Amino acid sequence: MTLLLAGDIGGTKTILRLVESSDSLELKTLYEESYRSGDFPDLVPIVQKFLAAANTSTPEKACFGIAGPVVKNTARLTNLTWFLDTERLAQELGILSISLINDFAAVGYGIFGLTKQDLLTLQVGKHQPEAPMAVIGAGTGLGQGFLIKTGNHYHVFPSEGGHADFAPRTELEFQLLKYLLDKHGIQRASVERVVSGLGITSIYQFLRDRQLATESPEIAQVVRSWEQEAGKSEKTVDPGAVIGSAALAKSDRLSEQTMQLFIEAYGAETGNLALKLLPHGGLYIAGGIAPKILPLMQNGSFLLNFTQKGRMRSILEEIPVHIILNQQVGLIGAAVCAARL
């Protein structure tokens, strides 16, 4: 049995999990704790506090999923002053082998630790076990990644596909693009500006300002509060979540229109990723948004826009598409990665 340490390291929260791995790579969680990242000057004191509370020996291996790019085994977190280096971490913590991976790469590894109950299948497709796999996930941003099989193992690769250009297809989407360019004074708009939590709010503002539906006082108050907090590191409201909930309840027409446009754009971008990778090994939808709006993801609009690619439609209809329901998939992935070190 091997003792492992897995971590999900974010600018706001750090989650650590102590895991025991068997020879068959079966993972058993022994202890888990969450910490406010900003309360610590570095990752090292968090790990030290965690291991002391777990009352355990030093793990042999560790893997940390980082909310940001990882370059040559180092990472600088976006919203913190932390600079992480595997060599320094290993020396100060006494852990023999440490890996830093992008948080979306951790999601890719996490696929292999999921059960059937952790997934909801949107499209069964025709699974090909040797084919590439793809991961996409709208949350705070829009993460994308892919997996390639070599020998008996899959190698996971993150990407910055969420920063590719938003590609409008309808007159309304072209108007949305022009709105975003004018509003922010920019020359191009990434797809992340539309397909993300922030994107939901942007779509709502666009439809509201174009007066395409009447704005309800309740949703208006939340959005106004969020707009007034622009520039602050922490917000007191989450308009994307409120808009999504109102659309699910069918209590606000503007929110329903917002989520309809969001789902269409989400499906189209997922289809774009599928065309580039042909992930017949499975396409997995991660991120915090999809599990919260499952009825909207299942109503047919997502898959319609996913497959609506002209002559390529029949190919996309054969790709298995799954929604990841387990929100700890990144932490699971860090443990899987640590076990493979």
Point out the annotated binding site: 7-12
Task: Report the C-alpha gap between 132 and 314 in whole angstroms.
Answer: 18
As a three-state string, the secondary structure of 245-283 is HHHHHCCCHHHHHHHHHHHHHHHHHHHHHHHHHCCCCCE
Q: Which two tokens stand for residue 269?
A: 């971008």
Cα(7)–Cα(269) distance, integer angstroms: 29
Q: What residues form the annotated binding site for ATP?
A: 7-12
